[in-house]
Structure 1
Amino acid sequence: MIATILLVAAAARGEEKDRVVFRQPNGASIGISGRIVDYNGQTIEIEMASSGKQRSFDVGTITKVEYTRSPNHEAGLEALQAKRWDEALRWLDLALDQELRRWVRREILALEVQCLTQLGNYGAAGDKFLTIVESDPDTFYYKHLPLLWTARELTPDDIIRARQWMESPRAAARLLGASFLINDPQQGDSAAQVLRKLSSHPDSRIMGLARGQSWRTKLRQGQVTDNDLRTWAGQIESMPEGLRAGPYYLLGRGYLATQHPLRAAQAFLWVPLVYDHDTQLAARACLEAAHALIAAGQTKQGQTLLREVTTRYADTPYAGEARAGLKDVVP
Structure 2
Amino acid sequence: MRTFALAILTTVFLLLKTVPTCAQDKIEVRPDHHVGQATLPCTILDFTQSNIKVKLLPSGFVRTYPSSQIVKVHTPQTEQHQQGLEQLQNGEYEKAINSFTEALNIENRSWVRREVLALMIKAALGQGDDLKAALRFQIMVESEPDSRSFDLIPLDWSIKETLSPARSAARGWLTDKNELKKLMGASILLTAPEYQAQAEAAMRSLATSTNINIQQLARTQLWRLRLREGDVSHRELQRWERNLHQVPEHLRAGPYFLLGTGYAMLERHGQAAASFLWIPLAYDSNPQLSALANLKAADSLLALGQTANALRLYQETVARYPKSPSKQMAQQMVDQLLKTNTFNNSPTTAPN
Q: State the TM-score, normalized to the length of structure 1.
A: 0.87
> What is the 5 A alignment of 1:153-168?
153-155=163-165, 158-168=166-176
Q: For 2:287 and 2:99, how far apart are their aligned partners in 1?
A: 20
Q: Which residue of 2 aligns with 1:295?
A: 303
Maintained 8 Å contact 1:17/1:35: yes
CA 1:18–1:168: 2 relative to 1, 3 Å: farther
**Cα distance, 1:133 vs structure 2:** 1.0
1:124 to partner: Cα distance: 1.0
Letter in 2 for 1:154: S
Corresponding residue number in structure 1 for 2:104: 96
Which residue pairs with 1:208 in the alignment? 216
How far apart, in 2, do the equivalents of 1:27 and 1:170 lie?
A: 43
What TM-score results when the alignment is normalised by the length of structure 2? 0.82
Q: Which runs of 5+ in 1 are unaligned?
A: 1-14
**Which has the larger displacement, 92-101 or 162-171?**
162-171
Q: In the alignment, what sits opposite 2:29?
A: 22
Equivalence for 1:187: 195
Q: Using a 3 Å threshold, how does the CA distance of structure 1 residues 73 and 50 change in structure 2: closer, same or farther?
A: same
Aligned position for 2:14:
none
Residue 222 of structure 1 corresponds to which residue in structure 2?
230
The letter of the residue matching 2:204 is R
Three-state SS of the structure 1 residue aligned to 2:41 is: strand
Which residue does 2:113 correspond to in 1?
105
Alpha-carbon displacement from aligned partner over 1:275-296 (angstroms, at most 9, x marks no partner): 2232221221121122222223
Question: Over residues 243-275 of structure 1, what are the superposed CA-to-partner deviations in whole Å (9 max), with x where a residue is unaligned?
Answer: 111111111111122232332222222222332
206-215 or 44-53, which deviates more: 44-53
- Note if contact 1:208-1:235 (Cα within 8 Å) is conserved in structure 2: no
Distance in 2 (CA, whole Å) between partners of 1:272 and 1:37 is 32
For 2:115 and 2:70, locate their aligned partners in 1 and report how far apart those are by CA, in whole Å: 16
Aligned residues: 315
CA RMSD of aligned residues (A): 2.1
1:128 to 136, 142, 147: 136
Residue identity matched to 2:163: E
Match of 1:259 among 257, 264, 267: 267
Query: Unpaired runs of 5+ in structure 2?
Result: 1-21, 343-352
Aligned to 1:6: none
CA contact (8 A) 2:269 2:300 kept: yes
- Sort the Cα spacing of 1:42 and 1:259 in 2 relative to 1 into closer, same or farther, 3 A: closer
Give the direction of change, closer, same or farther, for the CA distance of 1:326–1:20 in structure 2 (3 Å limit). Answer: closer
Mapped pair 1:274 → 2:274: no
In 1, Cα distance between the equivalents of 2:51 and 2:275?
34
Counterpart in the other structure of 1:5? none
When residues 306 and 52 of structure 1 are mapped into structure 2, their CA distance, relative to the original with a 3 A threshold, is closer
Q: Any conservation in 1 of the 2:276–2:294 contact (CA below 8 Å)? A: yes
Counterpart-to-counterpart distance in 1, 2:318 and 2:51: 42
Identity in percent:
34
1:240 paired residue among 238, 248, 253: 248
CA distance in 2, matches of 1:19, 1:103: 15
Higher relative contact order at CA 8 Å, sep ≥6: structure 1 or structure 2?
2
Tell whether 2:39 aligns with 1:31. yes
1:53 deviation in Å? 4.0
Instruction: Write the distance in 1 (CA, Å) between the matches of 2:294 and 2:314.
Output: 8
Change (3 A) 1:251 1:46: same
